[in-house]
Structure 1
Amino acid sequence: MRPATRIRTGDDWAVQTYSQFGAKILQVAQGLLDAGVEAGSRVGIFLNNSPEWSEIDFGALTARAVPVPLYATSTTEQIEHIGRDSGLTVMFVGGRSEAERVLAAELPDLRRVVVVHPYEGMPDDVVSYTDFMAEPDLAAIDARLAEADGDDLASIIYTSGTTGNPKGVMIQHKALIAQADALDEFFDLTPEDHSLCFLPLSHALERAWTVVVLTHGCMNTYVANARTVAEQMVLAQPTMMVSVPKLYETVYTTAHSKAAGSPVKRKIFAWALKVGRHNQYAHRAGRTPSLWLRSQLKLADKLVLKAVRDAMGGPKTVLACGGAPLRVEIEEFFGSVGMPVMQGYGLTEASPLVSFNAPTDFKEGTVGKVLAGGELRIAELGEILYKGPNVMLGYWNNEEATRDTIVDGWLHTGDVGYIDTDGFLTITDRLKDIIVTLGGKNVAPQPIEGLILADPLFEHAVLLGDNRPFVTLLVKPSLTHVEALAKAGQWQGELQDWLKSSELLDELKKRVEEITAKLPTQERPKDTKVVDEEFTMDNGLLTPTLKVRRREVEARFKALVDEMYERLDKLKHKDR
C-alpha cells in the first residue's frame, strides 16, 4: 500500500496510505454535502500543517467547494475580514486557540465550525472533525462532480497589498494543472519520492507544491511546527523539498560558524567548497571532472560536504527555493556541496509559478525561464509582466483591483527585473513596498506604520525587513513631544541628548509593542531604533508629496539597520 501522508507523533511516524487518504477525502466531501454546502461555496481552513489540512482541502474540492486558507497566526480582525469578504460558510480549525479566534469574529455567513483537535468545553455550535465526516454517498458525490470544470475555482488565497485589507486571489483548477504539467517536463517525480511540507499550507507556494506531490503519488511528510524543521529533515530524509531562503541561510550560517572554530578548520572548509564548486562547474559544462578533481572530491566529501547534505536530510531529487530572493553566495554554497538549489519566481496572483530553474536548464543568480505556455515582458520602469495559463481569474469582490493588476491579459507583478539573452529572468527590485521576509512572509508595511503614526510621539515610522529574517522599525520622533516627555520625566541634558537617551528609546519601544501587540508575529517589529535626522525633500528622504522614500531611508541608515540585525542575531545565538 502506497503511503500518502506522514507526520511525526512522539518518537514515531503516523503514516496514512493513499487508500486511507482517499477515504478521508470522500468523508469530508460528504460532510460538506450534508451541511448544505453548495458548489462554489467558500470553506475556511485554519490550522497548522497536517494530513487533515490536505484531507479538508481535497475534500472541499471534491464537493466543488472553494477552500480559503488562513494563516494559523491570523488575528480575529484578519479572520473577520477574510471570512466576511469571502462569505465563509464552514470553517475548519485546528484546536481551541483557532476556534476561539473564529468565534470572536462576526461572520454572518458562517454556519459551522469544525475542530480537528477537540477540546473540553466546546460550544454546542462547534463540532469535532470526526463527527463532521460522514459515510460517503458516492452517487451524490459523483453527481456534484459531474459538472466540474477546469475553470472552477480551486481556491481563494488572501494576499497582502500595499494598502488596505488583504485581497482574495481567485485561483482556478486549470492553473494548478498547467503548473504541474510544466514541472513534469523538467522534473521526473516518482512514487518513491517524498517531500517535506513545512512552509505554511496557507502560503501559495507550499499549497501548489503539495498538489504536485500528492497528484504524483508521492508521500508528503507534514511539519506542524516549522521551528522543528532542522530535526524533521534529518528524521524524514525527504528526497524533495521546496523552501524559502531562510532555511538555506540558516544551514549556510551554521556550517560556516562550525568551521570558524580554528584556522585549520576554516582552511579545510574553504578548500572543500572550492573542490566541490569546480566539480560542479565541470558537470554544468557537460564535461566529466578530471581524475585529479574527482579524487579530491572524495576527500572533500568525507571531511565537509557530506555533513552538509546530511543536515539537509540526505540527497535530493528536487531542492527548490521561492518566496524571496536567495543570495548568490548561498546558492553557490549549496551547489558546491552537491545540492543545487533550483530558484524560481512567482506570486500568488500567478498561482504562484512564473519561472523556474531546472536541473538541465538553469543559471545561478537567476530565477529561471518562464513557465511553459507563459510569456514575459519587461514594461516601463523595468516592471515584469506575465501572461500565462495560471494567471489568477481576478481578485474576489474587487473588480477595480483586478483591472489595475491584469491589463490586456498581462499580469503586472510589481517586481522589477530583466531577461538575459538566454531567456533567464533576474529579479532586481520591487515596485511595491511589500516586505518579503526570509521566511517568505508577506508584510504590508503601510497599515502597520499607520497604526504607529497614530501616536503623536512618532513623526515618521519606516518598517524594514525585506529579505531579512523579521521586521524592524526606524522612527523619527516628534521633537515637541520628546521635549514634553523629557520635562515630565526630568531627563538630564538637552534635546540632542534626549534623542540619544535610553529613556526615549525605552518609551518608543514600549509604545510600539503596545500598538502592535494584536498583530501577527511576523508583523511585529523585533527592534526599534531612533533616527534623529530630519526627513525632507531636500535630503531625498521625502517625495514631493511628502511620502517617505523607503529605500532611501534604508540606504541612508544602513549602518544603524545592520547593527540592529547583528545585535539581534547575537542575542538569538546566545540564548541557544
Structure 2
Amino acid sequence: MIEHLAVRLRGTVAAHADRTATRIRRDDAWETQTFAQFGRKVDEVAQGLLDLGIEPGDRIGLFAANSPEWSEIDFGALTARAVPVPLYSTSTPEQIRHIAGDSDVRVMFVGGRSEAERLLEVTDELPALERVVVIEPWEPLPEGVVSYDDFRSTPDDGAIAARLNDARGEDLASIIYTSGTTGDPKGVMLEHQALIKQKEALEELFSFGPEDHSLAFLPLSHALERAWTTVVLLKGCMNTYVANARTVAEQMVLAKPTLMVSVPKLYETVFATAHAKVASSAVKRRIFSWALRVGAKNQHAYRQGRTPSPWWRAQLPLADKLVLGNVRDALGGPKTVLACGGAPIRKEIEEFFSAVGMPVSTGYGLTEASPLVSFNSPEGFKIGTAGRVMKGSELKIGEYGEILYRGPNVMAGYWRNQEATDEAIVDGWLHTGDAGYVDTDGYLVITDRIKDIIVTLGGKNVAPQPIEGLILSDPLFEHAVLLGDNRPFITLLVKPSLPQVEELAKIGDWPGEVADWLKSNELREELRRRVEAITAHLPSQDRPKETAVMDEDLTMENGLLTPTLKVRRRQVEEKFKAAIEEMYTRLERLRKGE
C-alpha cells in the first residue's frame, strides 16, 4: 500500500467505521464521533480546500489547541495533498508572522477568537494568506474569517480520489518549525513515508490495537504528539483530546487511557505528589517505602526474565492494595503503552513507575527525525537509557560525543534553507546536537545537549542536565538551571515548589506571607543546605557555589518553557540576568575577603 497517511486513513475508516475515533470532554460530558464520522469530516475539509483552489504542496496553517477538529483538519489537508504547518496555540504575532510568512501559508485554521486576533495583527504582512477559518466562531466574524462549519464542503468523491491518485510516500506530510533557543525557528520537512516507517517500527515491538485508546494532551503542534496521534488513529484506536494540559491529572482519571505518551514533567509531578502525601507521617512513609521495595523486587525479576521469589510475590497483593494500585489509578489505570520522550527522565522516577507496575518506555528523538530515534520496548528495556535505535536505522557517535543518526525517518531538510540542511545532514547522517554513547548492550544513553555543556573559565566541561536532575530529585525544587559558562565556577538558579515552601514556613514559623518567604534568608539557607547535601559527592567543579531563587513562574506563555515543558536555558539566563550577576559579584567579594 502507498506510504501516504491520507491513503492509509481511508483504509482504517473502512475497517473500523463504527468504532469511536475521537473523544473530548465538553460541558462535563464526553463528545465522541466514529471513524465513519471522522472520515466524513476529513473529506469535507479536503473538499473545502479543493474548492478554494489549493494545489498539491500548498501550505495550510493549523493554529489551535488540541481537539478532534485539529486532526480532521490535519488529515483533510493531507487528503488534498496540501502540507500542514502547525503553530502552537501560545504563539505570539511575531512567531505567527515568521512561520506563516516563511512557509507561504494560504489558509490558516485557528482555534478561536484569541488565536484569530493574534493572527489578524499580522495578516497585512502575509501576502500568501487567502482565508482564515475559525473552529470556535463568534459573532460578528471579521471580514475574511469564516467558521469551520461553513468552510467544510460536501465531498466530491471523484475529485478527492483524483487528487489522491498521485499521492506518494515522498510527499511532505508537514513542515514543523523547531522552537530553537537561538535565531528564527527552522521549518523541518517531514515526509509521509517517514511517519509510516515509524509506525511500522513501533508495531513490531508494541502490541496494541483498536480496543486501546490514547490521551492526547501534549500539543499536537509538537512532533511527538503529532506522530503518536497519527499512529493511534491509523491503528483504529480512540484518541481522547485534552485542550488544556493543566487539566491532565483530572482527565487521566476520567478517560482511563490504555495508551499514553508524555514528557518527564508529568511523571515527575506524579512522583512528587505521591511522596508528598506520605511525608507528614512516619508510619505512612514506612508503608510507602515497603510497598515500593516489594514492587521493585518483583519487577526487577520480571525484567530479568525470572519469576520473583515466593517471599516477594506473597507480599505484592497487600503492597498493591495499600500503595501501588493508588498510583496506577492516578494515571487512569493499567497501560498497554506508557512512553516518555521530549527530555531526559531521572532514573529514580523510572524505578518508581516500574515498582508500581507501570514501566515507562523511555525514548529519544528530535523533530528532524520525525521524531523517533530510539526507544525502550517490552522486548528491549533498560532503565537509565533511551532504548535501542529504531529498526532499520543506525547510530554512531561523532566528534565531542555527538549522537549521529541515519534512518528512513530523517527529515527531507529544512524548508528553504539548504545551508542549514547541509550542516545538519552530512553524508546521510543527521547531526543531532546531543551528546551520548551506546552501551555494551546496544542501548543509547544521553548525557547532555552539546550546546548546553558549560565550559568554565578554568576550562572544565560540566554537563548540566544530570546535575539538574539530581537536584530536582528533592521535591522542594520545581525547576533548576545550572550556570557557569565562561565563569570561574558553577552556580544555580532554582524555582522552589510553592506547596513545599508553605510547608517549610509552617514548620519553621516563618514571618510574613508567600512573597516574603520566597525572598527570605530562611528559604535561601534551606535551598543552599539541600543543594550542598545533594551534590556533596560530585567533583568540585560540578558543585554549585551559590543558589539564587527565580521569583517568577516558568511557563510556555512567558517563553521560559518549551511546549514539552523543558526550561529554555538561554531565555532564563536573560530573564534573571540581574540575579545572576548579583550572585557572581557576591561570590567574588567573598573570595577576595571583602
TM-score, normalised to structure 2, is 0.76
Aligned residues with identical type, % of pairs: 68
Partners of 1:383 and 1:155 lie apart in 2 by: 27
Equivalent positions of 1:23-422 (< 5 A) are: 23-105=40-122, 106-422=125-441
Note closer, same or farther for the CA distance 1:272–1:204 as it changes in structure 2 (3 Å cut): same
Aligned equivalent of 2:504: none
Partners of 1:292 and 1:517 lie apart in 2 by: 48
Note closer, same or farther for the CA distance 1:192–1:527 as it changes in structure 2 (3 Å cut): farther
Q: Name the aligned partner's letter for residue 68 of structure 1.
A: V
Per the alignment, in what secondary structure is the counterpart of residue 229 of structure 1? helix
Note closer, same or farther for the CA distance 1:470–1:148 as it changes in structure 2 (3 Å cut): farther
Q: Name the aligned partner's letter for residue 375 of structure 1.
A: E
The Cα offsets for residues 37-84 of structure 1, whole Å up to 9 and x where unpaired, read as 110000000000000000000000000000000000000000000011
Moved more, 518-527 or 73-82: 518-527
State the shift of 1:407 in Å: 0.2
Aligned equivalent of 1:553: none
Note closer, same or farther for the CA distance 1:14–1:298 as it changes in structure 2 (3 Å cut): same
State the shift of 1:161 in Å: 3.0
The Cα offsets for residues 221-269 of structure 1, whole Å up to 9 and x where unpaired, read as 0000000000000000000000000000000000000111211010010
Q: Name the aligned partner's letter for residue 117 of structure 1.
A: E
Partners of 2:177 and 2:452 lie apart in 1 by: 17
Q: Name the aligned partner's letter for residue 255 of structure 1.
A: A
Consecutive unaligned residues of structure 1, counting only runs of 5 or more, are 436-461, 477-499, 503-508, 540-555, 557-576
Q: Name the aligned partner's letter for residue 582 of structure 2.
A: D
Equivalent positions of 1:472-511 (< 5 A) are: none
Partners of 1:126 and 1:100 lie apart in 2 by: 11
Q: Name the aligned partner's letter for residue 531 of structure 1.
A: E
Note closer, same or farther for the CA distance 1:519–1:290 as it changes in structure 2 (3 Å cut): closer
State the shift of 1:429 in Å: 1.1
Note closer, same or farther for the CA distance 1:501–1:246 as it changes in structure 2 (3 Å cut): closer
Q: Name the aligned partner's letter for residue 190 of structure 1.
A: G
Partners of 1:148 and 1:430 lie apart in 2 by: 38
The Cα offsets for residues 423-470 of structure 1, whole Å up to 9 and x where unpaired, read as 1000001113499xxxxxxxxxxxxxxxxxxxxxxxxxx9xx987866
Is 1:531 the equivalent of 2:581?
yes
Per the alignment, in what secondary structure is the counterpart of residue 432 of structure 1? helix
Note closer, same or farther for the CA distance 1:298–1:471 as it changes in structure 2 (3 Å cut): closer
State the shift of 1:293 in Å: 1.2
State the shift of 1:472 in Å: 7.0
- Is 1:275–1:297's contact at 8 Å kept on the other side of the alignment? yes
Q: Name the aligned partner's letter for residue 24 of structure 1.
A: K
- Is 2:55–2:82's contact at 8 Å kept on the other side of the alignment? yes
Q: Name the aligned partner's letter for residue 23 of structure 2.
A: R
Partners of 2:288 and 2:398 lie apart in 1 by: 44
Note closer, same or farther for the CA distance 1:530–1:382 as it changes in structure 2 (3 Å cut): closer
- Is 1:243–1:321's contact at 8 Å kept on the other side of the alignment? yes
Is 1:426 the equivalent of 2:445?
yes
Per the alignment, in what secondary structure is the counterpart of residue 154 of structure 1? strand
Per the alignment, in what secondary structure is the counterpart of residue 205 of structure 2? coil
Is 1:14 the equivalent of 2:31?
yes
Per the alignment, in what secondary structure is the counterpart of residue 225 of structure 2? helix
Per the alignment, in what secondary structure is the counterpart of residue 69 of structure 1? strand
Aligned equivalent of 2:505: none
Is 1:2 the equivalent of 2:52?
no
Partners of 1:434 and 1:398 lie apart in 2 by: 27
Q: Name the aligned partner's letter for residue 217 of structure 1.
A: G
Note closer, same or farther for the CA distance 1:433–1:112 as it changes in structure 2 (3 Å cut): farther
- Is 1:75–1:518's contact at 8 Å kept on the other side of the alignment? no
- Is 1:74–1:520's contact at 8 Å kept on the other side of the alignment? no
The Cα offsets for residues 529-563 of structure 1, whole Å up to 9 and x where unpaired, read as 2433669xxx9xxxxxxxxxxxxxxxx9xxxxxxx
Note closer, same or farther for the CA distance 1:122–1:216 as it changes in structure 2 (3 Å cut): same
Per the alignment, in what secondary structure is the counterpart of residue 268 of structure 1? helix
Partners of 2:100 and 2:319 lie apart in 1 by: 54
- Is 1:75–1:519's contact at 8 Å kept on the other side of the alignment? no
The Cα offsets for residues 199-230 of structure 1, whole Å up to 9 and x where unpaired, read as 00001000000000000000000000000000
Note closer, same or farther for the CA distance 1:332–1:402 as it changes in structure 2 (3 Å cut): same
Partners of 1:519 and 1:318 lie apart in 2 by: 33
Partners of 2:305 and 2:229 lie apart in 1 by: 33
Q: Name the aligned partner's letter for residue 117 of structure 2.
A: E
The Cα offsets for residues 248-300 of structure 1, whole Å up to 9 and x where unpaired, read as 00000000001112110100100000000000011111111122211100110
Q: CA RMSD in A?
A: 2.8
Partners of 1:338 and 1:471 lie apart in 2 by: 29
> Between Structure 1 and Structure 2, how many residues are aligned?
478
Partners of 1:110 and 1:474 lie apart in 2 by: 43
